[in-house]
């Protein structure tokens, strides 16, 4: 197929495909999906070899978020039967992180529900970062706390945060159909603040919320322009008690096409296979490793993931290897640009809030390499997504005004959320609802890592 040859050539050169080419990838037939995976796999291996980076989520504060993100079990008005608790103490979070690190995780993602952190919250998270790094040499820490205020990104970086996650989630045109309590522009601004402070930016998307192919291409092209270093690709986890509970529109083949499109558009970024992979890709998960070079290990924020031992077996059986802490994830040109940004070269703007410079895939040298975006989360104001890259969640501040040591209480009654049409599920899509997590923090069961 001439299209795939063209896309491979462009990916190896970090050249941006056309919108028409990206749309054509999503439109390929199921009979051609293995050809699509093979082509995108060439690009993945050229930049990342056969390495797979493992990431582990720690949910610092769960539930009762004031934001109304339709996909999130922690949203205002959610009827999902999830665990709810206020801030973990640093030693509790460090112990939770240790479970993931012992399973091979190279990055720990610290997520908190809410709109955005208070200055006191930033202090809490700073102490948690210190505790985790004291116990785990070489581990990366990514914070996912929602909308950042002036100066907070710099404080997190000074505390040792290596990265910050804030997902765009969907296209700007359809964003208001998913969330009304903050804007798409808020999310973009937060990612830019993280970049300006010298943190590696992580921003991605959620597929399966009723979007069109054009919406998917729009958000991925926006991510390329925003130029983060990692892009989590989440597949909607339809949780009972949320407005999108019955939105089942994904098949394993469509998930693979989406991942391939992301890889072609952002060839040299850390593409992370995030929330929902187990329920939508199912037995085709190993094929996704030929497209994504990063996954979450174990559980997500409020939903149970695949057992960590099964993830490790899948990676080995597929002929890939777990990336160690002594290996740099990003290609040399991206790693050098990130180091320069941390030294103050201004590759992503000289002050917090300035626009990022050259987009993902720019062929020039210096501080404008190709980039990616994730999770997690996990928007400014929208906060942490399940999978945080792993997406499901909203925000990251105290939101409802919780005090330390007490379960937070919503400040107001649930706000009305625009209805999202359920639509008929795609043929072959699963239609059963997802059980919330019943292990880890707040239970007597160990984390699933």
Active site residues: 65, 69, 72, 109, 142, 202, 272
Q: Mapping DSSP to helix (H, G, I), strand (E, B) and coil, where does residue 141 land?
A: strand
- CB under 8 Å to 308, separation ≥6 — which residues? 100, 103, 104, 297, 298, 448, 449
Q: What are the structure tokens assigned to 74, written together?
A: 């922690």
Which of 124, 205, 185 minimizes the C-alpha distance to 159?
124
Residue linked to tokens 């045109």? 173
Q: How far apart are CA 4 and CA 15, in angstroms?
A: 14
CB-count burial class (<10 Å; 0-12, 13-18, 19+) for 435: exposed
- CB under 8 Å to 104, separation ≥6 — which residues? 54, 297, 308, 312, 322
Neighbours of 45 (CB within 10 A): 14
Longest pairwise C-alpha distance within the chain: 60
Cβ 295 vs Cβ 449: under 8 Å:
no
What is the Cα gyration radius of the chain? 19
CA distances from 72 to 206, 298, 433 (A): 11, 19, 14
């Amino acid at each position: 197929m001439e299209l795939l040859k063209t896309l491979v050539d462009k990916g190896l050169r970090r050249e941006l495909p056309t919108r028409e080419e990206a749309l054509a990838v999503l439109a390929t037939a199921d009979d051609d999906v293995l050809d699509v995976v093979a082509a995108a796999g060439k690009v993945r291996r050229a930049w990342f070899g056969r390495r797979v980076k493992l990431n582990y989520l720690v949910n610092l504060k769960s539930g009762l978020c004031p934001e109304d993100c339709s996909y999130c079990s922690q949203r205002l008005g959610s009827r999902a039967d999830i665990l709810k608790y206020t801030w973990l103490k640093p030693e509790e979070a460090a112990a939770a992180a240790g479970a993931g690190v012992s399973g091979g995780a190279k990055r720990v993602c610290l997520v908190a529900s809410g709109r955005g952190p208070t200055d006191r919250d930033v202090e809490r998270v700073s102490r948690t970062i210190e505790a985790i790094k004291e116990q785990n040499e070489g581990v990366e820490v990514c914070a996912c706390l929602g909308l950042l205020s002036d100066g907070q990104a710099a404080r997190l970086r000074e505390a040792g945060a290596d990265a910050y996650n804030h997902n765009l989630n969907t296209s700007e045109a359809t964003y208001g159909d998913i969330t009304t309590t903050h804007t798409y522009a808020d999310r973009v601004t937060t990612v830019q603040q993280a970049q300006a402070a010298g943190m590696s930016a992580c921003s991605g998307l959620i597929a399966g919320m009723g979007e069109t192919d054009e919406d998917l291409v729009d958000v991925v092209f926006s991510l390329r322009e925003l130029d983060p270093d990692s892009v989590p690709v989440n597949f909607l986890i339809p949780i009972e008690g949320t407005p999108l509970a019955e939105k089942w529109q994904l098949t394993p083949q469509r998930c693979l096409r989406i991942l391939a499109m992301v890889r072609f558009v952002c060839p040299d970024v850390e593409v992370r296979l995030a929330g929902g992979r187990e329920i939508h890709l199912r037995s085709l998960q190993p094929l996704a490793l030929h497209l994504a070079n990063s996954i979450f290990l174990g559980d997500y924020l409020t939903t149970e993931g695949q057992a960590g031992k099964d993830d490790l077996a899948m990676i080995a059986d597929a002929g890939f290897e777990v990336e160690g802490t002594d290996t740099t994830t990003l290609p040399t040109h991206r790693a050098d640009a990130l180091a320069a940004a941390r030294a103050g070269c201004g590759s992503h703007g000289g002050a917090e809030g300035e626009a990022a410079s050259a987009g993902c895939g720019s062929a020039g040298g210096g501080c404008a390499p190709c980039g990616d975006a994730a999770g997690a989360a996990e928007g400014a104001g929208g906060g942490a997504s399940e999978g945080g890259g792993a997406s499901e969640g909203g925000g990251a501040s105290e939101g409802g005004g919780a005090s330390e040591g007490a379960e937070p209480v919503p400040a107001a009654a649930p706000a009305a959320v625009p209805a999202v049409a359920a639509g008929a599920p795609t043929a072959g899509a699963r239609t059963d609802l997802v059980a919330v997590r019943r292990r880890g923090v707040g239970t007597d069961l160990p984390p699933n890592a």
